Structure 1
Amino acid sequence: MRWRRSNGNYMFRRLIEISAIQRSPPFVIVVHGPPKVGKSLLIKHNLPDVRGPVTIVSGKLRRLQFVECPNNMNAMINCAKFAVLALLLVDGSYGFEMETFEFLNIMQVHGFPKVMGVLTHLDQFKDVKN
């Protein structure tokens, strides 16, 4: 009888720990870039159908949520407020666009989360010298 009580207490504590983990908010990763740069492709490279934010469980204590940020000003401000990490996609064949600089400026004003730059379309270069 004593073993069952201690085992039951252990299971009860374990359930409390698991529910606390599930209630903790995920780390939000915002994917931003100009049109046709590969934002959706980056988010759903392993998922057949994506509607809305994608949440991935990366361990017992951590969840990651990927959100695609639209290019209008209000959405950029909202994304800069709740993002923990921002993936800033840049078309390597074109360079920086105005939306990229606007998003960097907005993030700097609203708390500046960690930013990682991602170059895309590098396979379109035919000559290494260009």
Structure 2
Amino acid sequence: MTTDPQTTLAAPTIPTDEARRINDDRMRAEMERRAHRDQVDNAFRSPEATRIRELVVADGNVDWREFVVYCGGILEVVAMVDQYGRPDTDRIIPKVDELFYERYSREEYVGMTVTRHPRNRPYCPPAETSAAQ
């Protein structure tokens, strides 16, 4: 069996320094991904996240997962605490209301309203939203 040198595929030769640089870049990127993943995992298990989740679940107007995504991730949610590490309701409740109103207005736009009112408190839409109607 003979091989034609014109049809065989060979890997391009890369200088050793370039190969090391590429490998180092890949290793650095992998370490950064792992560090970020660990940071996110730790944030989900933190006492602050537990307290905020309890507050959002007790509020009952939005789902915890939706809330985390809406706020921009768990790292943003965990930052919503006061100087004592307790949930800052002045920052959390408006976000819950914004998410609730977004879902409600989406349902209203489609013509199928399942969620009428918040479960535990009266909801007043923002002034610019009510003026546009």
**Bucket of the pairwise TM-score, normalised by the shorter protein:** 0.3 to 0.5
TM-score w.r.t. length of structure 2: 0.33
Bigger-Rg structure (1/2): 2
Say which structure is richer in helix: 2
